[in-house]
Amino acid sequence: AQSVTQPDIHITVSEGASLELRCNYSYGATPYLFWYVQSPGQGLQLLLKYFSGDTLVQGIKGFEAEFKRSQSSFNLRKPSVHWSDAAEYFCAVGANTGTASKLTFGTGTRLQVTL
């Protein structure tokens, strides 16, 4: 069964500082990997995805993530955080086998940005 671990429940960074959010997954084959962001009271917005190919993927809002198969990780990074990045971030792993096309989400990391 697939699973996702986000080890950090809450992270605080200063505006302008760099950011790395950790995500570890468990999946038997090459996974589909996603990062979503959720602002308070809102739905989830897709930041970026990895399916295959280049292991460094670029997303919206200046985010990037790197797939490391040897570490079963898909960490999200941003070189300089803006106050508007304060939100909750979810990593997800996907399976697409037969009629199944399902995502398993991590429990999320809440990002606080101090000015």
Partner 1 sequence: DAGITQSPRHKVTETGTPVTLRCHQTENHRYMYWYRQDPGHGLRLIHYSYGVKDTDKGEVSDGYSVSRSKTEDFLLTLESATSSQTSVYFCAIRDRAYEQYFGPGTRLTVT
Q: Which residues bind partner 1 (CB under 8 A)?
A: 32, 34, 36, 42-46, 49, 51, 90, 92, 94, 96, 99-108
Nearer to partner 1 among residue 38 and residue 75 (C-beta): 38
Which tokens go with 105?
A: 């989400």
Nearer to partner 1 among residue 70 and residue 99 (C-beta): 99
Nearer to partner 1 among residue 42 and residue 114 (C-beta): 42
Q: In 10 A of CB 101, how many CB atoms?
A: 10
Structure-derived torsion over alpha carbons of residues 115, 77, 87, 22, reported in degrees to the nearest 10: -120
Minimum distance of partner 1 from residue 18's CB (angstroms): 25
Minimum distance of partner 1 from residue 103's CB (angstroms): 6
Minimum distance of partner 1 from residue 16's CB (angstroms): 29
Nearer to partner 1 among residue 25 and residue 108 (C-beta): 108
Minimum distance of partner 1 from residue 113's CB (angstroms): 21
Q: Cβ(17)–Cβ(80) under 8 Å?
A: yes
